[in-house]
Structure 1
Amino acid sequence: MTAPVPAVAVPAFALTWWLACYLLGRDPSRPVLWRSAAALMAYALAVAAWTVTPEGAAATVLLCVPALAWAGAALGLLPDDRPERRQVDRGWLLLSVVFLAMIVALPGAGRLVALAPLAGGLVLVWRSRDDVRPRALPAAVAAAAALYGLGLLALLLPIDLGSHELVLAAVGLDLMLLGFLAAVADAVDTGERLFPDLRRSVVGALAATLVVAGPSALTILAVPDRPVVAVLQFVLLAVVMSAFALSGPVRRGLDRVAFLHDERLRLDRAALLMLADALPRRRERHALIALSEAEFVRLTRRALDDYGDLARLLRSPLIDLPTVDRRLTGRASDQPLARAVELRAVLQDGVARLKPTGLPGTGERWRHYNALHYCCVQGLRPYERRLRTEGLDRDARQVLEWIRRYVPRRTLREWQSEGAQLVAEQLWKDLVGTDPRWLTRATANATRST
């Protein structure tokens, strides 16, 4: 094995694996993030396979898998309220299985068929570019995907563009750019900051790469004819980069083991770790006033969806609403956890205002309240295969059974969106009707308490 092989492969593997884990750590439930992470992990495994068996078919197959994953990531950029979104996701899953089988079966250049789903996904995103935020994202994704496609062409076709190591590294850079764009899309959609949190993770990833990747590359060079040693080095890199990029979940898991019989200490540390993870992703306070009404409505809808997740509410820009300030006094006004709890109370009050007068029911005028109160505030899931009704009163059971039988998922989602808009309108009126000096006073109080 020549020296350039591990010198390129080891850092490429480490950095792409780190970025994949970072995207998963942001929010594994977001399709655009976990699909982007799958693309990066497939590339990292392809680099490892290419290092161990340069002439094997496993490396070329794995190099084509990111195209399938990124087709799904591109579809994840489409707005969630699109009526055809569910069908599009199902179609992507089915086509991914079909094309993966074709990639495995076809030889050499025939595996370029993997670029077809990616092209289709980019076309759908481009047609909906006016609804994608930020506006420049579709063009940036298309450019990075085109560069990835050119790199794949150079690797699978008999084209001499110089060293294959450099071409492989260029493909990795393209995929890392696509991963960065996925993180940007997620930060914009959730109303969070990206760069402070990403900068902290990048610094640590580079340090870990220098400390761990160097000895790993030297070990692979020292025993070039031992594939098992190379595989073990890549496994070591994957473990180290995963532990670093997913430091929050790893620390919480260790606390569950170390403090198994000390629940109070475990809960206190969990709250502190949740706060530490959320602070770099919170927006500046003044950014709340710069929001448009449409953006404010969208963030309110997302906050209602995240009602049961205090960690996500900690990162919501709505945590700095003036109505939250009025509910807090003294030093508590500068405590993010206290503000998140009060934001939850504000949202609950907004939903309670939608409750019609009279006895609880399932009529037309109850649709917004029922959709938000039972499915968002109480966190009930009426479409679960095994509906859990333990501890619920008669009214809640009646509403859940009615939703389960007579309300389609799409209709329920529409009711939730309409109800969230009504809640957002009340909060928006309070925001724009508040004395503009509220921001200055709140900042001064926070500084004074500090």
Structure 2
Amino acid sequence: MTAPVPALAVPAFALTWWLGCYLVARDPARVVLWRSGGALAAYALAVAVWSVAPGSAAAEVLLCVPVLCWSGVATALLPRDAPERRLVNLGWAYASGLFLILAVVLPGVGKLVALAPLAGATALLMRHRDRVRPHPLPVALSATAVLYAVGLTVVLAPIGLGAGEPVIAAMGLDLLMFGFLVAVADAVEAGERLMTHLRRSFVGAVAATLLCAGPATLTMLAAPHKGAVVVPQFVLVAVVLGAVGLAAPVRAGLDRLAFLHQDRLRLNRAALLMAAEALPRRRERHRMIALDEDEFRRLTRRALDDFGDVARLLRSPLVELPTVERRLHARGPGVADQSLVRATELRAVLEDQVRRLKPAGGFGTTEEWQYYNALHYCRVLGIRPYDRVPKTDGLDGDARRALDWFRRYVPRETLHRWTVEGADLIAARLWRDLVSTDPRWLTRAGEGVAVARIDRSNATRRP
């Protein structure tokens, strides 16, 4: 193993492994983050295998896996109302498995067959690019996909352009850009900040790379061509950088082990860690006034979708709603600065808005009950009527009747439409309250600069 190989391989492995872990830890419930994290992790493993056995079939197959995961990310980013989205996402797993088998079986340049799903998914994403947010995302993802495909072709095709290690390192840069774009898409979808949280994790990743990957590189240089030495170095780097990327889940896991029989302490620490994790990702308070009605409507739908997930509600921009502020001030001084209380009050506001959709009388299934039933039972109570075995523990009689009605008479697409339309009604009410409130609700004591800026703006609009 020559000196440049570990110098390129170890940083490429460390940074891609960290970013893959970071993406998964952002929101483990999101499929698109798992697919993008899988692409980065597969590339990192390919770098490690290539360092031990350059040009091996296992390394070449692992370099093809990010392409398949990339195609899954492209399909997951399609607009929710795209007619082919559900079918394409269902078929992606089967198609990826098939093309992965072909990549394993076919020799050399034949493994480029794995590019076929990426080409199709990218073309589909570009076709719907006008409805993908942020708008430059499809073009940027397509450009990085083309660069990765070119690099993969150079590595697998017998075109004699020299050593493959620099090309593989360049492919790692493409994947780092790909991971960043996916993180941007996730932050935009959730209405969150990205750079503050990402910068905090990146600083830790760079420090860990310098402190851990540097000695690992020197060890590989001191014992070249020895797999028994090289492999443990990559394992060590993977553990350290994985701990940086998965910082929040790692802390939670350590708490569960350390405070196994101290439930109250563990729950209190979990709440504090959840709030601390949410703070760098929550939008600045002054950004709320810059939202347009369409964006506000989309964030309201998401907040209702996340009604049962306190961690997501903590990061929602809607915790800064004026109606939430009023409820917090009614509780007394000092309460407004408590993030968990804000999330609780946002849930109360949303639940109250759903309750206002309820018609008079007992449980019903007529047209006027559609929006209330869809939001109350499937969002507030969290019933999942289309699961093979829906959970019924703790449900009262009305909830059980609603569950049976959904399963028997309401198609999945119809329930989704009712949920969206009902959420839009709630968003319209909250929007009217937002725009009718004095903009100075966005400021607090000590934020005099922002107050002055708003006052000057109001003064210029007065006749």
Preserved CA contact (<8 Å) 2:52 2:225: no
TM-aligned CA deviation for residue 268 of structure 1: 1.2
C-alpha distance in 1, partners of 2:200/2:447?
A: 28
Q: Tell me, yes or no, if structure 1 residue 406 matches structure 2 residue 409.
A: yes
Q: Deviations over 1:418-445 (max 9, x none)?
A: 1111111110110011122322357759
C-alpha distance in 2, partners of 1:160/1:173?
A: 22
Q: Deviations over 1:27-62 (max 9, x none)?
A: 122222111111111101110110111131001111
C-alpha distance in 1, partners of 2:440/2:23?
A: 38
* Contiguous gaps of at least 5 residues in structure 2: 451-463
AA matched with 2:396: D
Preserved CA contact (<8 Å) 2:289 2:439: no
* Contiguous gaps of at least 5 residues in structure 1: none
Query: Relative to structure 1, is the Cα distance of residues 443 and 92 closer, same or farther in structure 2, using a 3 angstrom cutoff?
Result: farther
| Aligned pairs (5 A) from 1:23-422 | 23-329=23-329, 330-422=333-425
- SS at structure 2 position matched to 1:423: helix
C-alpha distance in 2, partners of 1:334/1:377?
A: 25
Aligned partner of 1:20 in structure 2 is 20
Preserved CA contact (<8 Å) 2:324 2:342: yes
- SS at structure 1 position matched to 2:358: coil
Preserved CA contact (<8 Å) 2:103 2:114: yes
C-alpha distance in 2, partners of 1:119/1:31?
A: 20
TM-aligned CA deviation for residue 384 of structure 1: 2.1
| Structure 1 range deviating more: 30-39 or 96-105 | 30-39
The alignment's TM-score, normalised by the length of structure 2, stands at: 0.94
- SS at structure 2 position matched to 1:193: coil
Q: Identity of paired residues, percent? A: 65
TM-aligned CA deviation for residue 289 of structure 1: 1.1
- SS at structure 1 position matched to 2:5: helix
C-alpha distance in 2, partners of 1:373/1:302?
A: 15
Preserved CA contact (<8 Å) 2:354 2:376: yes
TM-aligned CA deviation for residue 7 of structure 1: 1.3
AA matched with 1:175: L
C-alpha distance in 2, partners of 1:290/1:443?
A: 21
AA matched with 1:300: T
AA matched with 2:440: R
Preserved CA contact (<8 Å) 1:20 1:40: yes
AA matched with 2:337: D
Q: How many pairs align?
A: 446
The alignment's TM-score, normalised by the length of structure 1, stands at: 0.96
Q: Deviations over 1:281-315 (max 9, x none)?
A: 01011111111111111000000011111110011
AA matched with 1:34: W
| Structure 1 range deviating more: 165-174 or 380-389 | 380-389
| Structure 1 range deviating more: 128-137 or 81-90 | 81-90
C-alpha distance in 2, partners of 1:339/1:387?
A: 31
C-alpha distance in 1, partners of 2:230/2:415?
A: 52
TM-aligned CA deviation for residue 114 of structure 1: 1.0
AA matched with 2:351: Q
AA matched with 1:352: R
AA matched with 1:185: A
C-alpha distance in 2, partners of 1:417/1:429?
A: 18
